[in-house]
Structure 1
Amino acid sequence: MRTSFPFTAIVGQDEMKLALLLSAVDPRIGGVMVFGDRGTGKSTAVRALAALLPPIPVADGCIYGCVPGESNCPAPERHRGGKAMMPVPFVDLPLGATEDRVVGALDIERALGAGEKAFEPGLLARAHRGFLYIDEINLLEDHIVDLLLDVAASGENLVEREGLSIRHAARFVLIGSGNPEEGELRPQLLDRFGLSVEVRTPTAIADRVEVLKRCDAFERAPAAFAAEWEKAERATVRRIARGRRAVDGVIVPDPILARAATLCGAVGADGLRGELTLMRAGRALAAFDGAKAVTAAHLDRVAPMVLRHRLRRNPLDETGSTVRIERAIGELRAA
Structure 2
Amino acid sequence: MKLSKLCKVGMSFLTKPYYRTRVLIKSGYYDNLSDEDFLKKIFPKYMGYPLDLENPKTFSEKLQWLKVNYRNPIQTVMVDKHEAKQFIAERVGNQYIIPTLAVWDSVEDIDIDALPNQFVLKSTHDSGGIVICKDKSSFDFEAAKAKLSASLKRDYSKIAREWPYQNVPRRIIAEEYISELGSDDLLDYKMFSFHGEPKLTVVCSDRFSKTGTRMNFYDINWEPMGIHFGHYPPLPNEFPKPATYEEMKRLTAELSKDCPFLRVDFYEIKGRLFIGELTFFPGAGLETFRPMSKDYELGEWLHLETVHRS
Give the TM-score taking structure 1 as reference length.
0.26
Q: Indicate the structure with greater helix content.
A: 1
Structure number with the higher strand fraction is 2
TM-score, normalization by structure 2: 0.28
